Amino acid sequence: MALAAGFSHSAHAADLSFQPEPGAKLRLLRWKRFVEGDETAFARNIQKFSEKYGVEVKVDAESWEDVRPKAAVAANVGSGPDLIAGWFDDPHQYPDKLLDVTDLAEYLGKKYGGWYDVCQKYGRRAGTRQWLAIPWGIIGNAIVYRESHVKAAGFDGIPKDTAGFLKLCQALKAKGTPAGFALGKAVGDGNNWVHWLLWSHGGKLVDENAKVVINSPQTVAALEYAKALYPTLVTGTLGWLDPNNNKAFLDGQVSLTANGISIYYSAKNSPDPKLQELAKDIQHARFPIGPVGKPTELMQITQWMLFKHSKFPKACKELVRFLMEAEQYDPWMQAAIGYVSQPLRAYEKNPIWTADPKHTAYRDGGNFILDVGYSGPLGPASASALADYIVLDMVAEAASGSRPPKEAAQRAEARAKRYYKG
């Protein structure tokens, strides 16, 4: 509870609570844990809630990619879990099926130092101040690299700009310790880094008015960069799925990749002394900044959606409030060992981010990531475009030389127009 002192300003925020309906029972659906600590700490918080309020909560967990269709079906048929932890722009697919959580979001925002801007875009109904969902956490993503190999290649850390970064990758390749980024259908690892690449050069799928603008000189510049970067990568990245980079890095076959904190933790917690040595050599860094001059990263975000079909809306709200309060959120985030970062600024002070200096790179995602629909609205079109791998395919085509950059951009434009109509 030493943490509570860090949030002394919170005393000024008016307290808010919702009295759960008598006899309330809740069904909750969330994604299956990535790290064990998350699951046990979460279960502990749920148990605390049940004991405090006498509300039984049944927790179901599904593989993270399966939550999205299930949530959509629950919204569509008007039954199923009372609340679901979904992904990205899920709340914007069926805003009318969700409880208005403006009071809760504003209360939490006030109490915990405010929501990051990107969380406000994800949580609020477009163009209004109404909150559709409560952002729960951001799955951190960063450059993971071998410090000794980067040094041996003549660099003191990861260059801050894209031009320097390319030189580093070329030098790593020359030393036989290449980088590797997923260019196959890797939902997380592939999408994250290709969006960074596109946005870092000023390219984007759509503008503020949802007009498709992907076929631009900026996109072509990004694709030219991808084309130059690709030969520096280890063999096989075109076929890489989400787990490949973890495996290759831990085996010492790549020395630089983009990933969550999981690679570091697998090495650090391994009984194998070789991997423990590797953990000491692992460092994390932010992605370099491209010609646009500002960070342009994409990370997954998960949000609590409370459904109107629930018979116990107050219990739902109280549960989410309870989970987001420091007494529960802090130990949970700590138990998730840096895999999940906070949507609310006050939680930047959580000791997990400084317990090991290698964690810190994963702390500030909320401060600088862009949203998945950037720079257009969130909704069915942004969801479909991402799931159809329009940007990932475009980068893979140009990088591998299977299409010239201009042609890859044209093809992406044609595909995007299908989802962003008129």
Residues lying near other proteins in the complex (CB under 8 A) are found at 65, 68-69, 72-73, 75-76, 93-94, 97, 183-185, 234-241, 244, 247-248, 251, 253, 380, 383-384, 386-389, 393, 396-397, 400, 402, 411, 414-415, 418-419
- 83-87, strands of its sheet edge to edge: 56-62, 25-31, 83-87, 300-306, 134-139, 340-341
Residue with tokens 């799925």: 241
Q: Is 131 exposed, middle or buried (CB count within 10 Å of its CB: 0-12, 13-18, 19+)?
A: buried
Minimum distance of other proteins from residue 176's CB (angstroms)? 12
Tokens standing for 338? 């840096």
Q: Which is nearer to other proteins, 49 or 419 (CB)?
A: 419
Cβ proximity to other proteins, 162 vs 382, nearer residue: 382
Question: Could you check whether the bond before residue 50 is cis, i.e. omega within 30 degrees of 0?
Answer: no
Q: At its nearest, how many Å lie between other proteins and the CB of residue 249?
A: 10
Task: Find the shortest distance in angstroms from Cβ 371 to other proteins.
Answer: 17
Nearer Cβ to other proteins (143/381): 381
Is residue 285 within 8 Å of 73, Cβ to Cβ?
Answer: no
Least Cβ distance, residue 361 to other proteins (angstroms): 25
> Beta-carbon neighbour count of residue 2 at 10 Å?
6
Least distance from other proteins to the Cβ atom of residue 101, Å? 18
Point out which residues pair with 83 in neighbouring strands.
Answer: 28, 306
CA distances from 334 to 70, 132, 183, 227 (A): 28, 27, 32, 40
Question: Measured from the CB atom, is 41 or 408 closer to other proteins?
Answer: 408
Least separation in angstroms between CB 380 and other proteins: 5
Least separation in angstroms between residue 247's CB and other proteins is: 7
Nearer to other proteins, 38 or 90 (CB): 90
**In this complex, which beta carbon is closest to other proteins, that of residue 282 or of residue 324?**
282
What gap in Å lies between CA 330 and CA 70, rounded to an integer? 29
Identify the CA nearest to 391 among candidates 404, 369, 376, 372.
372
Between CA 294 and CA 324 the distance in angstroms is 30
Nearer to other proteins, 117 or 388 (CB): 388
- Three-state SS letters, 400-418: HCCCCHHHHHHHHHHHHHH
